[in-house]
Amino acid sequence: MSISVPVSAAGPRPAAAEIRLVGAAWLAVLAISLWWQQRWGTIPDTSWLIHVGVRMLEGERLYVDVIETNPPFSVWLYLPFVWLARQVGFSPESAVHGLTLAAVLAGLFGAGLVARRGGYLANPWLVRLSPLMLALLVLFPGNAFSERDHIAVALFLPFLVLTAWRAEEGARGRPGLALSAAVGVAGSVLVLVKPHYGLVVAALAVLLWARIGVRQLLRLVEFWVLGVIFVGYLAAIVAFHPEFVLDLYPLLVDTYLQVSSHDRVLRFLPICLLPLVLVWRMGAGRPPSPLVVAALSASLASLAVAAIQAKGWPYHFFASLFFAFMAAGVALAERLARGPGLGDRKERAWAVLAGAVMLACFLPFTTSQKPDSATLASVRATYDAPSVAVVASDIAIGHPFTPMVNGRWISPHHGDWLGGYALLLRERARAAEDAARFEHYDMMLHDFMAAKAEEIDREVPDIILVQKSNPVWTDYLRSAFDFESIFGNYQLLAEDDTVEVYRRRP
């Protein structure tokens, strides 16, 4: 990644041999990533969005026949690649994996192009450390690889670097209209996948406001392009998917948004602050460069986004961690450019410490939700293309399990999320002695259970996956739902630590 420093602060350009060595390191990181991602496979969120895209291409209507709980861009992002895979005979999972790598490379090279057009010379240490930036986007994500947040962060890099360039005192040159517009288009993906990330854009706008003033800020094309695209997207939701606005979103406000996991968020805070402390110590005694400030601003704003979502899933914190490590990498490169480099024992210690912090922050991303191979083998040995139902509130029970057994998912939902939230909120209302809310969620739960019973009775699935990690939901089904009458026609086929697989009796 050719993030650079002003000519006055730059050292000598890297030699051609060194450039070739860095290029070889890039290729090595990319090659390792293809093997590395086999640990996680296609993650549940991505697998479900691929499934939604497949059903839409088969003629089903989003938010009517198949229900995705996010606004439509979550599906639109993957849909062209799912379509392309069907045209050329690839698996859609492979196509989306390629999309993710393409987004990473586009973001990194786009950021380098912005820096070069800005009249900068590359800090040689930023070039030498650039394979680490690539590793942060293809190795570090772990179980967040191909998440919407992951792709959006990669594509936002040119916007971040352009912000730093504009904030540079005495920076030479100006980006052309086409480049600024392209940066705005790529950067808009961040707010399209989640409007919450508007806080990141706002943080960078505040940085520029302080540096160049509000009049100059209001003339920046990339901000206008991003804003126009976002407003157009909101209009497109209303025009093409009114069901999301009128039906689904009120239901999400009534259920999903009522449940927060502040304890998980609080456990993540120290992890996200570790690299920020590292940046502060490496830059001690010197004012941070605009690129460091821009990355730190994006990191803190992303951390606020994760706190607002209040779910505590690791991928919600990926953006904050990535931008923080970007700031740390730039700070380290600038420190090495000013000093004796890695030949000095103290500078090597800083580099080792940065690596140790990165490994510590990676731990939450190591958990794999990949289905058990023996369980998959049992299903494949019994069915060629089974129809699949679940008794599970977790999306990971059915996805990517279903496509991995060439199955047909019978439900419009990714799982029993609505019933699970209704049960939880009903019990909270009971504990609070709120009779009105108790009755409201009890009726919601009753309607969900009736619809689920009708669905299973109508479709008669070949296999039913039962989640083992949520006994509250499963036990409720056994006690309040006509569980035995449905499962009387099924027998246990296989089980592992997370799921029981029941097959329909011959």
Q: What DSSP state is assigned to residue 468?
A: S
- The CA distance from 82 to 347, in Å, is 47
Q: Calculate the CA dihedral of residues 262, 264, 160, 195 and round it to 10 degrees.
A: -50
Phi-psi region of 220 (alpha: psi -120 to 50; beta: other; left: phi over 0): beta
- The CA distance from 157 to 319, in Å, is 11
366 — phi, psi (to 5°)? -90, -15
- Is the Cβ–Cβ distance between 29 and 135 less than 8 Å? yes
Q: How many CA atoms lie within 13 A of 482 on its CB side?
A: 10
Q: Calculate the CA dihedral of residues 162, 166, 169, 173 and round it to 10 degrees.
A: 90
- Tell me the whole-structure pTM to 2 decimals: 0.93
21 CB burial (10 A radius; 0-12, 13-18, 19+)? middle
Question: From residue 427, how far is each of 262, 269, 394, 420, 476 by CA, in Å?
Answer: 19, 29, 19, 11, 12
CB atoms near residue 380 (< 10 Å): 13
Where do we find the tokens 């003339």? Answer: 219
- The CA distance from 503 to 505, in Å, is 6
- Is the Cβ–Cβ distance between 314 and 144 less than 8 Å? yes
Task: Return per-residue pLDDT of the chain as tens, 506 residues.
Answer: 333 444 334 445 566 788 889 999 999 999 999 999 999 999 999 999 999 999 999 999 999 999 999 999 999 999 999 999 999 999 999 999 999 999 999 999 999 888 777 655 456 788 888 899 999 999 999 999 999 999 999 999 999 999 999 998 766 667 889 999 999 999 999 999 999 999 999 999 999 999 999 999 999 999 999 999 999 999 999 999 999 999 999 999 999 999 998 888 888 888 888 787 777 766 666 788 899 999 999 999 999 999 999 999 999 999 999 999 999 888 888 877 777 666 667 767 777 877 788 888 899 999 999 999 999 999 999 999 999 999 999 999 999 999 999 999 999 999 999 999 999 999 999 999 999 999 999 999 999 998 988 898 899 999 999 999 888 898 887 777 666 677 778 999 999 999 999 999 88
Phi-psi region of 240 (alpha: psi -120 to 50; beta: other; left: phi over 0): alpha
